[in-house]
Chain A
Amino acid sequence: MFPDERGRFGPFGGKYVPETLMSALETLEADYRRLSADQGFQEQVAYYLKEYSGRPTPLFLAERLTGHAGGAKIYLKREDLNHTGAHKINNTIGQGLLARYTGKKRVIAETGAGQHGVASATVAALLGLECTVFMGEEDMRRQALNVFRMRLLGASVVSVTSGTRTLKDATNDAIRYWVEHVEDTYYIIGSVVGPHPYPMMVRDFQRVIGDETRRQILAKEGRLPDAIVACVGGGSNAMGIFYPFLDDTGVRLVGVEAAGDGVETDRHAASLNKGTRGVLHGAMTILLQDEYGQVQPAHSVSAGLDYPGIGPEHAHLFTSGRASYVPATDEEALDACMLLTRTEGILPALESAHAIAYAVKLAAQMPKDAVLVVNLSGRGDKDVHTIEEQLGGNL
């Protein structure tokens, strides 16, 4: 099973970080492996997932959306119903407890849409940790509500003005800060990205999505789904729902990348479809870059997918062919957002709307007795301002 002892998923992953962080990563890996096998720790994680975040989240049959698509039955895995409104809290509960178990009093996090920042600030408040969140200046503008929520929760939000002023540079600055404060600070990475052991740890903390889905679909349908669809930026919600199904080769796994204005333009975030092999944020992966390895800016209407790289395990699943990755444009995502809201009364996050957009297309091509699960990774309240801007008053 991946990763191997060097933190590799096939040729991807590893630890490409400054030497100053290497001992901390070695210690983190040892702590994580010890606590993974520690019943007390696992019970704590399970306790907070259930009693604090409200898990298990429902697997909801979207009947009107299914009727609209006219094909496979569409189930929604309702990660939007988690406390704080997205799947991100699954990971921050796990890593927050890891920080506490290893004696760290301060945590830092990067955030794009602000969902991971809010989830980190929330868990920091819950566990009595001091929290600093790095967020691109451009994203702070797009996601002003989440900035306010983080500050209400007692976190400091650092405005990142380097580079593209979005998630990529927020991650750079979080890593730079961590290098300086590595001795007393725990870095809660928000996706299945970064140096080993992060992609493995975040996947393990998010796999609860897939484990529940498996139990729930077996109870409802008596069989596994034909396809699972999830949006991918860094790829944590997708990895979480895919992982328990990796060996079930009859289950088609589809990641939906943000295509922005279209993959034929230069304004998109389709890292796998348009990127090449290289190193970003400490891992060998696939990213958007020019021929000399300068990282290219990504674009997406959703701040959470606006990222030029992707987690190394996705790069591996893409290369091996176990999962496929398809694009959905800004416009398709906005349409899907409206569609789900009007057919089911559920306002999805713009990130998750990318998955809905492709799921509707895919369901239409599948027979009516087929079963498709979409990971509805977050709710859209944070996006109402962006959606309003995009609609330009046409409501």
Chain B
Amino acid sequence: MRGAKAIEQSLESRRQRGETAFIPFVVAGDPDFETSVEIVCQLAKVAAVIEIGIPYSDPLADGPVIQEGALRALAGGMSLPRSLELIRAVRARTDVPLVAFTYVNPVVQFGYERLSDALSQAGGDGFIVPDLPFEESEELATAANRHGLALIPLLALTSHTRIERIARAARGFVYCVSSLGVTGERAAFADTLRGFVEAVRAASSVPVAVGFGVSRPEQVRELSGYADAVIVGSAIVRRIGEIAAARSSGDAHAAETLLTALYAYCADLAGAGTGVGTDAGTEERA
């Protein structure tokens, strides 16, 4: 089983076990193709779904950390077709649902139908397009549907009256943006987050994930009271940046240590959603 159904089932089975699912985000090809494939395959061991960011020159919804990750990948020769190859390479090794996180312009260039077909062929399961709001999404949603893929909608604290119609049409999951602003690690969530996520849950027939600003296990525990899944991006991409920096300074040992620490960090985040583990030794640097 692939596509929207695979995403929904992966999240739903965790929800039934009383767990909060872990959804990591990485930029495809950051810092290079092989390392990126390896990282995704390792994260697949603890992730319910993985977001694969397609690197883009003008990532409007992203903060500096993910912008830099995209630049590293683009500098290494990543492109949309190479990103699809990366998804194919990951798919050969793991069954975890994979969602392409891409800005709309590369999708327009490639073609809505052609990209849906190519993503499906590569073994991808859905799209997240942060600058494609509901009103502009019909063409991609139709193409994605035709291939069984989910076009996962985002909802924000400012969505208000928009929540119901967008959540009702959702497939895969609904992506709740935890705070005003772009992607990036944050110390605290908005007071209004819980009420917002609960309103989305009430309107949605698919699982509800919270992302933007999540980086610490205790935040995952806080969210597990009301979210089906948590999405972590910048905190992972920042660590991959440190790995890239260690490598380019010729310190292979430090890079290896950082990579091991990245996997341990992700295991802790995933563990926090299943009620296992403590913060000991993994407490985030403030």
List the interface of chain A (C-beta within 8 A of B): 6, 14-24, 162-163, 168-169, 172, 175-176, 179-183, 276-282, 284, 289, 291-295
Contacts and interface: CB of A to CB of B under 8 A. Distances in A.
Main secondary structure of the interface of A (DSSP, over half): mixed
Contacts of A292: 79-81, 106, 109-110
B105 A23 contact: no
Given A22-B162, A176-B60, A181-B180, A289 B133 contact: no
A16 B110 contact: no
Nearest to B157: A20
Given A182-B180, A279-B131, 14 more contacts: A15-B136, A18-B133, A18-B154, A18-B177, A19-B159, A19-B177, A20-B177, A163-B58, A176-B63, A181-B180, A277-B108, A293-B108, A294-B57, A295-B58
Interface string B160-171: 111000000000
A292 B73 CA distance: 14
A172 B58 contact: yes
B135 A20 contact: no
B131 A16 contact: yes
A175 B180 CA distance: 12
Interface residues of B, number: 41
Nearest to B181: A180
A17 B131 contact: yes
Interface string B135-164: 110000000000000000111111111100
The 7 closest A-B pairs by CB, nearest first: A180-B181, A293-B109, A293-B106, A20-B156, A293-B105, A294-B57, A279-B105
Given A18-B131, A163-B58, A182 B158 contact: yes
B132 interface: yes
Contact of B180 (A14, A179, A291): A179
Given A16-B104, A176-B182, A23 B162 contact: yes
A312 to B, nearest CB: 13
Contacts of B61: 18, 176, 179
B270 interface: no
Interface string B89-117: 00000000000000111111110000000
Contact of B158 (A23, A168, A175, A284): A23
B182 A180 contact: yes
B154 A23 contact: no
Contacts of A284: 108
B154 A19 contact: yes
Contact of A17 (B105, B109, B133, B182): B133
Contacts of A168: 58
B74 interface: yes
B159 A289 contact: no
A20 B158 contact: yes
B160 A23 contact: yes
A3 to B, nearest CB: 13
Given A18-B156, A23-B162, A6 B56 contact: no
Nearest to A26: B162
A172 B133 contact: no
B81 A23 contact: no
A24 B109 contact: no
Contact of A279 (B80, B81, B108, B181): B108
Contacts of B134: 19, 22
Given A279-B131, A291-B109, A293-B105, A22 B180 contact: no
